[in-house]
Structure 1
Amino acid sequence: MKYHEIDFEKYTQCLENSEQRKYSASRLFLDITSRRNWEVLIFNDYEAVMPVPFIKRFGIKIVINPRLCQQLGIFSEKDDKELNECFLTYFKKNYNIWYYAFNDKNSFISSLKERKNFLIYPDEYEKVRQKYSPKRKRKLRLDEDVLAVSEIREIRITEARDFISENMIGAKNDDDKNKFLKIFEDFDKSGSLTISAFFYKNKIINAIAIYHDQKTAVLLGTFNDREFVKLAGSSVIIDDVIRKNIKEKIFDFEGSEVPAIEEFFRGFRPELKPYPFIKHSKKEMLIKVFKLNTGHLFISKRN
């Protein structure tokens, strides 16, 4: 189904009642991150759905997970390996795939590569905190002289924008950075984003961007002033967000393949939840694009 053909009431109902439920497959999240460039593969009458985001290059549709969208995949009442394999076969045959990540509940007959993610499931905060590593617990014990001149505040993206822009790691260039910031701004307008900041002597030295829905709090980004890294402000504000949300919501770290970041996340003792993905190099994708579109042209000429 193309975007304008989707029955969003049925789509949302399928997603919310699915075993694999993910905030990132919601209409709101995909509309903002993909600029409504997504469609859906559907089994029967929305018994299972698979959102497919894309970009267009030279008129050709190319599948790629949008910025900040870690996992998508197949959503159904019960995860079904055979049904998932049918989706996968059709998907690989009919789309030009650059990068697509399924969700951590999806299982397949085929073997797919996996990436790491980390989750903390809802529980009493004190029980969650008890599991933190000794090192993480030490980081959370701030010195009295630091406590006297520091505080945690939730602020709007307008107040945090310059700090985030200056301390964003991973953006390829200024244009890429501005696109990330635009997504944050749109989430903020939708009421689904909070920025939690650590102020030291009335100056922001750490900030995190958190996406919220009814069941999940998601760490979309961490931003740190390197001059103050020893104060461990990022640990403090993440712990604060966990404290405020973990009784009712999953805390999703949006795992990283960067060893230092992975080690940082593991200090909170989350559960490892790997998820499968498909990735092709630009060369592989161009070959696939040529073959797929040549085939379509041949069929068209025959018709």
Structure 2
Amino acid sequence: MIRRLKYHEIDFKKYSECLENSKQRKYSASKDFLDITAGKQWEILMYNNYEAVMPVPFIKKGGLKIVVNPKLCQQLGIFSKTDNIQVNDLFLDFFERKYNIWYYAFNDSNTFSTSLKQRKNFLIFPESYETVRQRYSPKRKRKLRLDEEVIAKSEVREVHLEEIWDFISESMIGTKNQEDKKSFLQLFLDFEKAGYLKTTAFFYNNAVINAVAVFYDEKTVVLLGTFNNKDFVKLSGSSVIIDDVISKNIENKVFDFEGSEVPAIEEFFRGFRPELVMYPVIAHSKQHVIKRILKVL
């Protein structure tokens, strides 16, 4: 009942229809998103005739496929009209038997009969902006009340990446090395060129001190990147621009913070009073993957 289809074998019309009509819909499982983040190094598992689908991205090492979620891709998993534990178990069994899995994240609607490790995400669901803002923590509301002097010297506006390229490059944190940073920056550029990404910046005295890179589709806005000048933390520019994006979109789109395992970032996100949503993952060490490969060989 579960079949593996390589990239060139996928009927993308049926695949997209399954995603869009699914209970678990996620922007990150779309063809465009995966083509940008994974190239054509992804395939799918299919249940019956696109009744349920599961995208599987991979990298190649020594001619072998190793499953790992690509950069900026938080959740994938199984997509179907209803989330069926029995069907999900079939996918999970096939997946674990047939693939070398380094790291794979299912989506927050997927349930299984066995227990998997859970990670955190934070979402604000569509509602009136006034209602959403009213729920912000007292601290976040204070941060959004800028001094008149700051207001007079500041501006929030959308920019193209190239306008603030040096700032983003210098303020990007969490990358392993220069090559890793370049690959992230290239992904942001590719999303912008494809029409999915907008960057909003906070300017103070005509200089950018904060920026957010946000992915947009028909139903979701996603915080893909935040960039800050640490010398101006007290001005709360990040809070202001995130609130600005929320105010313009939350009436009809989910706002996805993309979660974080870093306590300080989690605390910052929680100030906007989003809902905590857990999602299951499979995570193995490199040593585990190598041992599995050697065992199979």
Superposition TM-score, scaled by structure 2 size = 0.98
Q: CA deviation at 1:158?
A: 1.1
1:160–1:195 contact (8 Å) kept in structure 2: no
Partner of 2:64: 60
Say if 2:69 is the partner of 1:74.
no
Q: CA deviation at 1:160?
A: 2.2
Say if 2:193 is the partner of 1:178.
no
Q: CA deviation at 1:51?
A: 0.1
Say if 2:101 is the partner of 1:97.
yes
Q: Provide the rounded CA distance (Å) in 1 between the counterparts of 2:69 and 2:213.
A: 19
Of the three residues 128, 145, 150, the one matched with 1:124 is 128
Partner of 1:114: 118
Say if 2:267 is the partner of 1:263.
yes
- What do you get for the CA RMSD once the two structures are aligned? 0.5
Letter in structure 2 aligned against 1:68: L
Partner of 2:245: 241
Q: Provide the rounded CA distance (Å) in 2 between the counterparts of 1:280 and 1:149.
A: 49
1:209–1:219 contact (8 Å) kept in structure 2: yes
Letter in structure 2 aligned against 1:164: I
1:118–1:265 contact (8 Å) kept in structure 2: yes
1:161–1:181 contact (8 Å) kept in structure 2: no
Q: Provide the rounded CA distance (Å) in 1 between the counterparts of 2:221 and 2:168.
A: 19
Say if 2:173 is the partner of 1:169.
yes
Q: Provide the rounded CA distance (Å) in 2 between the counterparts of 1:253 and 1:129.
A: 16
Q: CA deviation at 1:13?
A: 0.1
- What is the total number of aligned residue pairs between the two structures? 293
Letter in structure 1 aligned against 2:165: R
Q: CA deviation at 1:291?
A: 1.8
What SS class does the counterpart of residue 274 from structure 1 fall into?
Answer: strand
Q: Provide the rounded CA distance (Å) in 2 between the counterparts of 1:8 and 1:131.
A: 40
Q: Provide the rounded CA distance (Å) in 2 between the counterparts of 1:118 and 1:81.
A: 24
Say if 2:159 is the partner of 1:188.
no
What SS class does the counterpart of residue 251 from structure 2 fall into?
Answer: coil
Say if 2:64 is the partner of 1:38.
no
Percent sequence identity over aligned pairs = 66
Partner of 1:297: none
Q: CA deviation at 1:206?
A: 0.2
What SS class does the counterpart of residue 185 from structure 2 fall into?
Answer: helix
What SS class does the counterpart of residue 67 from structure 1 fall into?
Answer: coil
Say if 2:250 is the partner of 1:250.
no
What SS class does the counterpart of residue 116 from structure 1 fall into?
Answer: strand
Partner of 1:86: 90
Q: Provide the rounded CA distance (Å) in 2 between the counterparts of 1:104 and 1:187.
A: 24
5+ residue gaps, structure 2, are: none
